[in-house]
Amino acid sequence: MPFIIAVDGPAASGKGTISRALAQHFGFYHLDTGLLYRATGAKGGDPIASAQGLCADDLTRPDLRSAEAGQAASRVAAIPEVRAALVDFQHRFARQDPGAILDGRDIGTVICPDAAVKLYVIASDQVRAERRAAELNADPGEMLEQLRERDRRDSERATAPLRPADDAAVLDTSDMSIDQAVARAIAIVEAARR
């Protein structure tokens, strides 16, 4: 049985960086599930049809890391039919041997509720805004506003809202370096593998 790690949290909390590092450390497959929603939103047109027709090549678009793609992802992720169309893709991905790490907003609560390890990565709003602004060469104040709007939309949606799983380990990266956050996540996973 594959070892599944679910990593959830709001935008710019560090979940993607931590997930990629965990995948490299343990030799597991990694899926940034946000890319599925970003690609669906970026394709335009009918979001349900876009989600149903999504292919691996759609996940390699260079514009998927833009703020616009993030906002589009949050909008289409609120559509239950879009979420349903992407769930099978995520389930198949999670069942790969020797293991898989999926990061997103509802992995531990909806997609892989039986994951061996569930992490919920957070950071203060200000830290997240500064990180995202540096990543996109944007205004931190504008990023703060966008992140709060996205958090509100993601947390209040009726289908699979952003929230930690009851049994998730919460990892606050606000005052951690990348190396410290990754080391803490590795320790949590190693403790679960014993």
Contact indicator for 161, 10 with CB cutoff of 8 Å: no
62 annotated binding-site participant: no
User: Do residues 148 and 125 make contact, with C-beta atoms less than 8 angstroms apart?
Assistant: yes
53 is in an annotated binding site: no
Known binder of ligand: residue 84? Answer: no
Q: What pLDDT does 22 receive?
A: 98
15 labeled binding residue: yes
Other CB atoms within 10 A of residue 177 CB: 9
13 is in an annotated binding site: yes
Residue-number span of the structural domain to which 22 is assigned: 3-193
Q: What per-residue confidence (pLDDT) applies to 71?
A: 84
Q: Which residues of the chain have pLDDT under 50?
A: none
pLDDT (tens digit per residue) in 113-134: 999 999 999 999 999 999 999 9
Q: DSSP assignment, residue 57?
A: G
Q: Is 107 helix (H, G, I), strand (E, B) or coil?
A: helix
Digit-coded pLDDT (tens) for 13-24? 999 999 999 999
Question: In the prediction, which pLDDT does 28 show?
Answer: 97
Q: Token digits for 100?
A: 């898989």
- What pLDDT sits at residue 184? 98
What pLDDT is stored for residue 48 in this prediction? 95
| 113 marked ligand binding residue | no
Rounded to two decimals, the pTM is 0.88
pLDDT at 41: 93
Q: Answer yes or no: is 99 a known binding residue.
A: no
Number of domains in the chain: 1
**pLDDT at residue 172 in the model:** 98
The closest of 18, 28, 32 to 193, measured between CA atoms, is 28
Secondary structure of 132-184 in HEC code, one letter for each residue: HHHHHCCCHHHHHHHHHHHHHHHHHCCCCCCCCCCCCEEEECCCCCHHHHHHH
pLDDT at site 185: 98
Residue 145 · residue 163 · CB < 8 Å? no
Can you say how many angstroms the Cα of residue 188 is from the centroid of all Cα atoms in its chain?
18
- According to the annotation, is 43 in a ligand binding site? no
Per-residue model confidence (pLDDT) at position 34: 86
What is the domain-level CATH number for residue 23?
3.40.50.300
pLDDT of 152: 92
CA-to-CA distance for 178 and 6, rounded, in angstroms? 19
